[in-house]
Amino acid sequence: MTQAHRQFKDAIYEQLARIGKAVSAPKRLELLELLCQGPRTVEALACQAAISTANASQHLQILRAARLVDAEKHGLHVEYRLTDDRVSDFFLQLRKLAESQLVELQHVARQYLEERGALEPITGEELRRRIQRSEVVVLDVRPREEYQAGHIPGALSVPLAELKKRAHALPKSRDIVAYCRGPYCVMAVEAVELLRTKGFRAQRMEQGVIEWRARGWRVATGGEGSHA
């Protein structure tokens, strides 16, 4: 191999490695998943990822340097968003690869869900069929801004923090399915636990909006679906 060819290959892999380096920290992966749900300010991301604003800002700057996210100033706040839908696809594929190769990941997830009786979630396909037959009430228990950015058509926006005081408005004559950000989001697990203690027939859907969209199914935005 000539020196010119070697330099070319080294330069290519150096650029590819920028993506790998950007997602090499657990908290950066969590921030990326949060941004898959919709745009966020640095402060909101820091709160949801349980880190300081300064720490979140540093992580976001690394993701931005790798062109995975972009930022826009809104008054006193900086709002981040994914640069492209392909970043969301990349995150899903990365997670699927980890699920297929890392038995440790499967063990951690199974242990947590088994303790809460949450190992048998409803699938997206089954939920679609039951929605079409008007058999279920679907709850989006994510924060309302995530619901506004994109949600399953017909889902009601009932953020987990509001569920306890709003549960009385839900019908007990129909099954309830709660969903949040995907298989490792715990909000739907908590929602189902709460609803069952109040006598509701409740299940969680393991998938979230990004998985729903990846299947080519329609995602609604704005206020469609209303509130409970």
For 25-37, write each residue's pLDDT tens digit: 999 999 999 999 9
Give span(s): CATH 1.10.10.10, the chain. Answer: 3-85
Round the average pLDDT of the chain to a whole number and report it.
Answer: 93
Beta-carbon contacts of residue 178 (< 8 Å; ≥ 6 apart): 138, 139, 140, 141, 187, 188, 191, 192, 195, 202, 203, 204, 205
Mean pLDDT, to the nearest integer, of 60-84? 95
DSSP string, the chain: --HHHHHHHHHHHHHHHHHHHHT-SHHHHHHHHHHHH--EEHHHHHHHHTS-HHHHHHHHHHHHHTTSEEEEEETTEEEEEES-HHHHHHHHHHHHHHHHH-HHHHHHHHHHHHHTT-S-PBPHHHHHHHHHTT-EEEEE-S-HHHHHH-B-TT-EE--HHHHHHHGGGS-TTSEEEEE-SSTT-SHHHHHHHHHHHTT--EEEBS--HHHHHHTT---B-TTTT-B-
Question: Judging by DSSP bridges, how do beta strands 202-204 and 175-179 pair with one another?
Answer: parallel
Residue-wise pLDDT for 122-175, tens only, equals 999 999 999 999 899 999 999 999 999 999 999 999 999 999 999 999 999 999
Residue-wise pLDDT for 170-228, tens only, equals 999 999 999 999 999 999 999 999 999 999 999 999 899 999 999 999 999 987 545 55
Task: Please count the other Cβ atoms lying within 10 Å of the Cβ belonging to residue 183.
Answer: 17
pLDDT score for 224 = 53
Contact in structure between 25 and 63 (CB atoms under 8 Å): no
Angle at CA of residue 177, ends 174 and 178, nearest 5°: 140
Catalytic annotation, residues? 180
pLDDT class of 113 with cuts at 50, 70, 90: confident
- Quick one: fold of 118-214? Oxidized Rhodanese; domain 1 (3.40.250)
pLDDT score for 114 = 79
CATH code for the domain defined by 3-85: 1.10.10.10
Give span(s): CATH 3.40.250.10, the chain. Answer: 118-214
